[in-house]
A and B are shown apart, each in its own frame.
Chain A
């Protein structure tokens, strides 16, 4: 290891990279034993360059980024290696000296904008703080600059928005605030750690555009950390692919994407829905064979499994000085789901798509309109009648972390619906659970584990197994793959397609991501502001969108610009 001498002067010749990471090793102290998470990573970033580190969770990409800016969590330690920034060896800096580097020379755009602003402080002062900490501006001038920076980040009416609190901003707007903060002191390098993974696709594109425009204008280098190769393909000059703490491949973006040398890179390209659009199963023409347990006399006439007519849901908000307020979350939505088909409901957060799902599942009562399930009026059903209907439709939610009881074993969770409906003897239930775990490709011994011992993808498999326990006819997948890494997402989608083909399930697939939707759904319905904008066969909607908003959604799919469908 050769550590470069500390230099205080201006950066040397143009050939010198802005950031040089060499042989970086980071380990975490887990249960008293050091476990290495990053095994000797080396790469460079030139001034003004955009470099993306791509990898799944656990690949060490975020750890690498945090090691560069010396913000590793308390149980992590840089074991060896050097980080040289503008000719100065950062590994030799004292605590105090680091405070002068962070924010001033290297900025950080965080992963979760909703949790990354002090909830008790107005937004303007939080941006201004990045200037006052480094004494770049006196307090008053910094406040004025903060307003300008917010406006540059695309916040309208920045003057008055600066006086608002973070909770008055949407997730995308908060990320704009954080971008303004990270770039305030004009750092030469900005680390963007999964800056959009918590945001809707359309917002994601705006945010990435914003970062690109602002950094290009200032000549700021960007280290973009992402799990989505599609995002990297759109944005980066060079791509570094990481896996299990090692760099498996790095090079100019077109090269890595066009002729990947490593098998893992090829796998990532295949998993990115925008980069390699393909259908996971053939389109269902009309009605597949009757689902298990369906009455034989229902006839071939294609009666939809679910039919919703003129659904309307109005929520009452806390009253203000101006009297009571209401919010119309769903307005005049009619749709139907056929047996064996997948209907995708697409829209951003707040579009009302999840409320529609809750109405179809009868978790909420509609303010107006009706829902029929296999000919039975769901809105009128109650008591035991409703309970018996409920077993025929199940749901898988977005967060695999929140939807499993942490104190239940996997087997307990999967068996719970069986117990609730008094299905079978205990030994029959055990057999059913084993079969279900097998169906979602989890090893049988996972039944004894607790959710904390599983990865996000494995948890979602458990949630799917639980939803299938009662052999439902309809499964509502509410953003069921949105929280997962792209490669895990691809596996879960393949599993869903497989299960659907096996059991003739109907899916209501709720998503904000059109790239995923085109892989799995037969028909698409697009929602915005509580209304249904358009609906139709997936192919025709995606290829000939009627509504401008649908076009916008399509162009927001990451990776789409480089590789045309």
Chain B
């Protein structure tokens, strides 16, 4: 078991390194560096070329690629991703300041998504009316097809401007969290609902469900006592991808509702070629992905007794 986790952590470290390196190369290859973008801020007061050169050498941008990379990587190992070019604070600090806001948003969004998605899937499977069942089953594809920003704008229009129930923007308390979290939850819940509906349908066709019915079990016992847990397993496998979805959704949601957070920070950092911040974000996203899949693998045996993590490690 310890060997297994150790090996997985090593794999994770490799993923983080690869993410760092690839993002480093891509950002290097993009035309223009941070200093030249800063300098070309506006036409009227052009920046002194000497100052630009000085800044370049200060940030080490005038050195050859491999030197820049080795220095940057060595610092990154000590969690030093450099100083944000935009406002001069450490990149990790810039990210760390807004991270809690995004965690709040993502957690709320995820909880909502699981709730909504499961409710839809259960409703689709529970209903004995074929018409209702088909209607409910048609909702998830709709939720996936509609763009997230449009959902956000609709919610904003209706609940903030028309009904004035929730604030339209900002990070003020739980009230301001509702609409962004809902925006984030809708596409994710659609994915969960679709996966769970299909898997629930399949599970209910299994012989052991018939056997439980033959014991005299009610539909409620069959669903909540047996089928849901079995049906959740394939959905659990997708958790890593769902968390990735949430991060992508956070970018849109935070932009639409003008919330501070990782998503918005990503957009501004990329736009202003703030390489230290972008790199921090990339490594953070990779770390989240690595941790999620490790956690999923570790809780698998708790959900499904047939799976033995230790045995799988050598298989």
Partners in one complex: yes
Residues on A close to B: CB < 8 A?
69, 71, 99-104, 107-108, 110-112, 115-121, 129-130, 133-134, 165, 167, 178, 181-182, 185, 318-321
Q: How close is B248's CB to chain A, nearest CB, in angstroms? A: 32
CA separation between A299 and B215, bound complex, in Å?
67
Question: A115 to B207, Cβ gap below 8 A?
Answer: yes
CB within 8 Å for A167 and B306 given contacts A116-B207, A117-B208: yes
Determine the chain A residues whose CB is within 8 A of the CB of B315 once the complex forms: 318
Candidate in B210, B221, B225, B229 with the most chain A CB atoms within 10 angstroms: B210
CA separation between A291 and B314, bound complex, in Å?
47
Question: A318 to B305, Cβ gap below 8 A?
Answer: no
**Interface pairs (25), CB distance under 8 Å:** A99-B217, A100-B216, A102-B214, A103-B215, A103-B216, A103-B217, A104-B216, A107-B214, A110-B207, A111-B207, A115-B208, A116-B207, A118-B208, A118-B230, A119-B306, A120-B226, A120-B304, A129-B212, A133-B217, A134-B216, A167-B305, A178-B211, A181-B211, A318-B312, A319-B311
Question: A120 to B207, Cβ gap below 8 A?
Answer: no
CA separation between A110 and B210, bound complex, in Å?
9
Instruction: Say whether B42 faces chain A, with CB atoms less than 8 Å apart.
Output: no
Determine the chain B residues whose CB is within 8 A of the CB of A129 once the complex forms: 212, 215, 217, 225
Question: B215 to A120, Cβ gap below 8 A?
Answer: no
CA separation between A398 and B305, bound complex, in Å?
29
Question: A119 to B208, Cβ gap below 8 A?
Answer: yes
Instruction: Say whether B87 faces chain A, with CB atoms less than 8 Å apart.
Output: no
CA separation between A319 and B308, bound complex, in Å?
11
Determine the chain B residues whose CB is within 8 A of the CB of A103 once the complex forms: 214-217
Determine the chain A residues whose CB is within 8 A of the CB of B206 once the complex forms: 115
Instruction: Say whether B303 faces chain A, with CB atoms less than 8 Å apart.
Output: yes
Question: A69 to B214, Cβ gap below 8 A?
Answer: yes
CA separation between A182 and B308, bound complex, in Å?
30
CA separation between A129 and B212, bound complex, in Å?
9
Candidate in A69, A104, A121, A321 with the most chain B CB atoms within 10 angstroms: A121
Instruction: Say whether B213 faces chain A, with CB atoms less than 8 Å apart.
Output: yes
CA separation between A269 and B119, bound complex, in Å?
55
Chain B contact residues (Cβ within 8 angstroms of A): what range?
20 to 34
Question: A133 to B215, Cβ gap below 8 A?
Answer: yes
Across the interface, B213 reaches (CB within 8 A) one of A71, A115, A182, A319, namely: A71
CB within 8 Å for A165 and B314 given contacts A100-B216, A130-B215: no
Q: Which residue of B lies closest to A120 (CB)?
A: B229
CA separation between A395 and B311, bound complex, in Å?
32
How many Cβ-Cβ contacts under 8 Å join chain A to chain B?
84
CA separation between A101 and B314, bound complex, in Å?
49
CB within 8 Å for A318 and B218 given contacts A110-B211, A115-B208, A117-B211: no
Question: A116 to B208, Cβ gap below 8 A?
Answer: yes
Instruction: Say whether B310 faces chain A, with CB atoms less than 8 Å apart.
Output: yes
CA separation between A165 and B212, bound complex, in Å?
16
Determine the chain A residues whose CB is within 8 A of the CB of B229 once the complex forms: 120
Question: B308 to A120, Cβ gap below 8 A?
Answer: no
Q: Which residue of B lies closest to A178 (CB)?
A: B211
Candidate in B207, B211, B311 with the most chain A CB atoms within 10 angstroms: B211
CB within 8 Å for A181 and B215 given contacts A120-B229, A121-B226, A318-B315: yes
CA separation between A392 and B305, bound complex, in Å?
45
CA separation between A100 and B226, bound complex, in Å?
19
Determine the chain A residues whose CB is within 8 A of the CB of B214 once the complex forms: 69, 71, 102-103, 107-108, 110, 182
CB within 8 Å for A318 and B215 given contacts A110-B210, A112-B207, A117-B208: no
Determine the chain A residues whose CB is within 8 A of the CB of B230 once the complex forms: 118-120
Name B169-220 residues within 8 Å CB distance of A.
206-208, 210-218
Determine the chain A residues whose CB is within 8 A of the CB of B305 once the complex forms: 119-120, 165, 167
CA separation between A381 and B210, bound complex, in Å?
51
Question: B310 to A101, Cβ gap below 8 A?
Answer: no
Q: Which residue of B lies closest to A181 (CB)?
A: B215
Candidate in A101, A120, A178 with the most chain B CB atoms within 10 angstroms: A120
Q: How close is B164's CB to chain A, nearest CB, in angstroms? A: 46
